[in-house]
Structure 1
Amino acid sequence: MRCFCEHNETYNLKLEGEVDTDPIWCNQCGCNFDIEEAPISNGLKDELVRWVMMYGDWINWDKDTLRPNGIELENIHNKLGEQLTEKVKKELGIKYKVTFSPSSTARLYAGLDF
């Protein structure tokens, strides 16, 4: 996939949820890839888009506070992210290295150590 790395291309990807971004990133330069350009099935793209749209459900954005069950919601989101990462790995094959970067925003809001 084309990115900002030295050779303008990477096979080292990470899956990470974030507000208003697509979930596939270059694990080296940090380039955020357009999900439509990812060489994966449309079904998996749809799953990834639904997953990333749930990012931050554990935060009450109006009050900028953690929801009462926020840590549990974030844990569920991270578990699903791990499962989707395995699906991405399977579809991309051995040419790509794919890692998952879990969210830790609930812990930050709760004031917990990592």
Structure 2
Amino acid sequence: MECLCEQNVTDELKIEGDMGGDPIWCNKCGCNLDIDETPISEELKEELWDWMARYGEWIEWDQDELLPNGIELEEERNKQGMKLTEKVKKELEGTYKVSFSPSTSARSYVNRE
């Protein structure tokens, strides 16, 4: 897959949630990769998009505050992300090294209080 690495391709992918990006990144240069170019099943792409669409559900965005159960919501989302990462690893076995980067934004809200 094309990225911003010196070779313009990567064999190391990272699954990570974020606002406004695709859930697949180059683990070397940090480039956000187009999920449609990822050689995984359409079903898994949909699962990743659904997971990504729920990013930040532990934050009350209008108030810029963590929800009362925000830590638990983020932890549950990270568990789902790990499961999805295992599915991606299985589909890309032998082609790409795949890792997961859990969200830590809820903890940053706790630490700023």
The alignment's TM-score, normalised by the length of structure 2, stands at: 0.97
Runs of 4+ with >2 A deviation = none
Residue identity in the other structure for 1:27: N
Task: Tell me the residue number matched to 1:93.
Answer: 93
1:70 and 2:91 aligned: no
Percent identity over the alignment is 61
Which ranges in structure 1 are unaligned for 5 or more consecutive residues? none
1:8 and 2:11 aligned: no
CA shift for structure 1 position 93? 1.0
CA shift for structure 1 position 86? 0.2
1:9-88 matched pairs, under 5 angstroms = 9-88=9-88
CA shift for structure 1 position 88? 0.2
Residue identity in the other structure for 2:76: I
RMSD of aligned alpha carbons: 0.9
Which ranges in structure 2 are unaligned for 5 or more consecutive residues? none
Residue identity in the other structure for 1:3: C
CA distance in structure 1 between the partners assigned to 2:49 and 2:33 by the alignment: 13
